[in-house]
Amino acid sequence: MITTRGLTKRFGQIVAVDHLDLDVREGDIYGFLGANGSGKTTTVRMLLGLVLATSGEISVLGQAMPASARAVLPEVGALVEGPAAYRNLSGRVNLALFDAMGPERDPSTRDKRIEEVLEKVGLAAVDKRPVRAYSLGMRQRLGLAGALLRRPRLLVLDEPTNGLDPQGIREIRALLLQLHAAGTTIFLSSHLLAEVEQLCTRVGVLDQGRLVIQEELATLQQPTGRTLVRTPDVQLARGLLDGQVEHHDDASLLVRVTDVAALNSRLVTRGVRVEELSPERRALEDIVLAATQPTSDQLTGR
């Protein structure tokens, strides 16, 4: 759905994107992660033909960009750097104008499609108030409605949950999963690790313009070979497992064993209260931190 080869963008002496090789496959929910200033939005703008690359190649839906933009963009829904809208007009009127300026459509279906997308993003009950009266979260929902209006094969989103409260974030996550289940490929640019971890099937991590990770999320989070033991009896468990404990804190231990059932039996028999016994999996935060230090503190907001 999206491939780039050696994609590079320079602004004078600054290299914003550095020889980027993206591989976004049909059916992906691809999380494109990076700190502010890492080159994410510049990359998205090049994919959509809004900014010209300094060098390299871009293919979207199997066609070269930006040369094939007229054929490609009608099948791509996009929300980049926040929604654009005429502030004095209502959301419905904005969507109608957006649709009318796009590829040729049957105007008789326009009102129905607008109602459908407003319902999907939670704005169906909004009256005729102008967009200038919308909250940031409402404007973000309107931008997403615009991206969905043409029922795209590919959805390209830059920070789509910006400005939303936790309930709104959950609703948008559910909507994206619904769209994905119906066959839409999603390219999601974000700095929110937890959101990407809950939503995405594959991830790419950008650090100072370079792609430092590109892999299936499930592959990145495969079991490490250690077992997590949660217990209020950490010291007792440490004494029983001398030499097998590789890390511990006040509430848990990480133990390297081959027989987890035998481990559980040993602990319980000796009076250790086992609250959880599970394979250790690396959190996405830990994976990204390891790949992007020393600049990773920007990504996590620290």
Q: How far apart are CA 197 and CA 251, in angstroms?
A: 24
Question: What is the average per-residue pLDDT within 259-269?
Answer: 95
Mapping DSSP to helix (H, G, I), strand (E, B) and coil, where does residue 9 land? strand
Q: How far apart are CA 293 and CA 107, in angstroms?
A: 52
Per-residue tokens: 163: 């400005």
Share of the chain above pLDDT 90, in %: 62
Q: Of the ranges 94-98, 250-254, 284-288, which is most confident?
A: 250-254
Residue 34, pLDDT > 80, answer: yes
Q: Is it true that 2-220 and 223-281 share their CATH fold?
A: no
The reported pLDDT for the residue numbered 150 is 82
Which residues, in sequence order, are CB contacts of 169 under 8 Å at separation 6+?
Answer: 161, 195
Q: How far apart are CA 262 and CA 281, in angstroms?
A: 21
Lowest-confidence pick of 5-19, 98-112, 235-249, 255-269: 98-112
What is the enclosing helix (H) or strand (E) of 1? none
| Domain locations in the chain as residue ranges | 2-220, 223-281
Q: In what order do the strands lie in the sheet containing 154-158?
A: 76-79, 154-158, 185-190, 29-34, 202-207, 210-216
The reported pLDDT for the residue numbered 302 is 46
Answering whether pTM is above 0.85, one says no
The reported pLDDT for the residue numbered 63 is 97
The DSSP line for 149-196 is TT--SEEEEESTTTT--HHHHHHHHHHHHHHHHTT-EEEEEES-HHHH
The reported pLDDT for the residue numbered 137 is 83
Q: Of the ranges 18-22, 75-79, 132-136, which is most confident?
A: 18-22
Query: Which is nearest to 146 in space by CA: 188, 104, 84?
Result: 84
The reported pLDDT for the residue numbered 296 is 46
Q: Sorting pLDDT into bands at 50, 70 and 90, what band is 103?
A: low
Strand partners, 213: 205
Question: What is the average per-residue pLDDT within 16-43?
Answer: 94
Share of the chain above pLDDT 70, in %: 95
Residue 299, pLDDT > 60, answer: no
The reported pLDDT for the residue numbered 118 is 92
Lowest-confidence pick of 16-20, 75-79, 136-140, 242-246: 136-140
Mean pLDDT taken over the chain: 90
The reported pLDDT for the residue numbered 294 is 61
Q: How confident is the model over 154-201, as pLDDT tens digits?
A: 999 998 887 788 888 888 888 899 899 999 999 999 888 888 998 999
The reported pLDDT for the residue numbered 22 is 97
Quick check: 87 and 130 in contact, CB under 8 A?
A: yes
If one compares 198 and 28, the residue with the highest pLDDT of the two is 28
The reported pLDDT for the residue numbered 253 is 95
Assess if CATH 3.30.70.980 describes domain 223-281: yes
DSSP single-letter state for residue 132: G
Q: Is 238 left (phi over 0), alpha (psi -120 to 50) or beta?
A: alpha
Q: How far apart are CA 1 and CA 275, in angstroms?
A: 45
Q: Sorting pLDDT into bands at 50, 70 and 90, what band is 135?
A: confident
The reported pLDDT for the residue numbered 219 is 94
Cis peptide before 232 (omega within 30 of 0): no
Amino acid at 138: M
Residue 239, pLDDT > 90, answer: yes
Question: What is the average per-residue pLDDT within 5-17?
Answer: 96
Mapping DSSP to helix (H, G, I), strand (E, B) and coil, where does residue 109 land? helix
For residue 106, CA distances in Å to 109, 111, 118, 177, 262 come to 6, 10, 19, 28, 67
Fold of 2-220: Rossmann fold (3.40.50)
